[in-house]
Structures are given as structure tokens and as C-alpha cells.
Amino acid sequence: MPVLARSVDEALSVVTDGCVLLVPRESSGVAMEATRALIRRGARRLHLVGCPTSTLQADLLIGAGCVETLETSAVSLNEFGAAPRFTDAAKAGAIRIKDATCPAIHAALQAAEKGVPFMPVRGIIGSDLLTHRPDWRVIDNPFGDDDPVVVVPALSADVALFHAPLADRDGNVWIGTNRELATMAHAARKTIVTAEALHDSSLLDDPKLAAGTLPGFYVEAVAVAPRGAWPLGLADHYPADAAHLAEYARLAATAEGFARYLEQHVHAQRAA
């Protein structure tokens, strides 16, 4: 049965050092309060998977020394420029990078979701990705003649972590149209969710919400965290804090500035 955690820290207890951690793209509900909690706790050696991309979340975790391996299609701050801590770590060889494409990340998660060892993907043959990803293989299509196809291995993860608008006391979580969150939860051994609020009754009993609800048997723990995606936005609830993100991009351009950011917005106080 899923646990309604007393705190974000309690919910994160299953995120152990060295685990494979799935996190969603910026627009799908990023658990930023949980990210700050992981940094405060001193998480280390994470294999972070951006599903299929990441922004501030990955940059913060990399800069704070929490990440050993990064597997994703891209990390940037979007209109605020390159992700500075990721860029510096990549140039310095401080993290291992498993480069990917968005379709390949989704296919690998779908393979894990379905319990099959791999999934075929089109569109990669001819790129240099195959040189850098020896775990991606080219096979002959068994149903076609002279039709090579790439297969990517299932991406089974230890924990999926995301933020959602609603959850209920049974651990059901409303994800709306962000169906990739369901795929992440299906692919991971455990799923941790922070939520804006608790719904008064079962989400699965509400005909307007049931179709967009991830059932609680896929969820390990839920923690209530109002504005838990800040300074990123949460669709239909609040926009991204553009001024804060611009300030982050300015400070994080140097290691010293990033350290000041961590002290001001992660360690010294609970960001709000």
C-alpha cells in the first residue's frame, strides 16, 4: 500500500545513493522541492535519467555533486541559456554521460513497462549515437528483407520521481494528460510523488478525474508539497518564476555563484 508521508524527506527515503532515478521533462511536473531535499541530504552517485530531457533539476543535482551518470536527450535552461553546471561537468569529465534521443528514452521505458528486454526504434541508423551507445544494437527486421532496425534495452529504474497537482489518501495520483508519467511509474520499481494538495475522496471514484489518474498500486509514497515544482511551473496552477530562473542562470555560471545559490535557496532556508 502507498504511504502518505509526513514530509518530503520521509517520502524520499527510498532514493538511495547509487540508484537509477527517473525524472520528467520540465512541462510534466518536476519535483523541485524534493530535488532540494535530496541535495540537503547529500545524495550521491545517482544515475539520473531525464525522461526524455531535463532543465534546472538536472543542473542543480549535477552542480551539487549528486549525479554520477546522466542519461538523457538534452539538458538546458531553455530560454535562459545553457545549463551551466551540466556544461562544466561534461567538459571536465566529472560525470558519465549516456547520450540518447527522445524516442529512444521513451522506447526504453516502454520496454521496461511491458516487461520485454528491448524495443525497436527507427531513425538512429546513420548517426554517431550508435558509436557512443554500444548497448544499442542494429538487428535485421525478422519480418522484412534488408530492413535493419535499432533495438534499445529496457530501462528499468529504481525510482521515478515527479510532482503532480492532486493525490488522495489511497496514493492515487492525478497526472492528467501527462501520460509519460504513467510510463515512468510502470517502468520503475518504486514511484515517489509530491503533490500540490490532497483530494477529499478517491480520485478513481470521480468520473472527471479517473481517466487521468495513476492508480496507487504503482506509487510507493506521496508527500504534500504546495508549490513543489517552484521555481519551475506546473500547468494550470502556476507559471515558472522567470526572474528566479534568470538569477539562477547568472549565479550558476560560476562555481562560486552556484555555491551562493545553494546556500541561499537550498541549504539556508526552505525554498518557497
pLDDT, tens digit, for every residue of 70-127?
999 999 999 999 999 999 999 999 999 999 999 999 999 999 999 999 999 999 999 9
- Is residue 158 classed exposed, middle or buried when 0-12, 13-18 and 19+ CB atoms within 10 A define those classes? middle
Query: How many angstroms separate the most distant Cα atoms in the chain?
Result: 62
Position 237 pLDDT exceeds 90 = yes
Q: How would residue 270 be classed by pLDDT, with cut points 50, 70 and 90?
A: low
Give percent of the chain above pLDDT 70. 98
Distance (Å, whole) CA 137 – CA 125: 10
Distance (Å, whole) CA 155 – CA 141: 22
Strand bridging mode 137-140 / 96-99 = unpaired
The larger pLDDT score, comparing residue 142 to residue 271, is at 142
What does the block give as the cell for 70? 546522466
User: What is the set of domains in the chain, with CATH numbers?
Assistant: 3-117+154-267 (3.40.1080.10)
For residue 261, the surrounding DSSP H or E stretch is helix 255-262
- Measure CA 130 to chain center: 24
pLDDT, residue 84, reads: 98
Average pLDDT, the chain: 96
What does the block give as the cell for 263? 546556500
Average pLDDT (193-219) is 96
Smallest Cα–Cα separation from 220: which of 265, 190, 250?
190
pLDDT in tens, 20-49: 999 999 999 999 999 999 999 999 999 999
Average pLDDT (154-174) is 97
* Coarse DSSP helix, strand, coil percentages of the chain, rounded to the nearest 5 percent: 35, 30, 35
Position 233 pLDDT exceeds 50 = yes
pLDDT, residue 269, reads: 60
Position 272 pLDDT exceeds 70 = no
pLDDT, residue 195, reads: 98
Q: How would residue 271 be classed by pLDDT, with cut points 50, 70 and 90?
A: very low
Q: How would residue 5 be classed by pLDDT, with cut points 50, 70 and 90?
A: confident
pLDDT, residue 3, reads: 83
Q: How would residue 176 be classed by pLDDT, with cut points 50, 70 and 90?
A: very high
Smallest Cα–Cα separation from 180: which of 106, 71, 112, 115?
106
Average pLDDT (129-152) is 93
pLDDT, residue 145, reads: 84
What does the block give as the cell for 109? 521505458
Average pLDDT (62-73) is 98
Under 8 Å CB-to-CB from 141, ≥6 apart: which residues? 120, 147, 148, 149
Smallest Cα–Cα separation from 119: which of 147, 151, 91?
151
DSSP secondary structure code for residue 25 in this structure: -
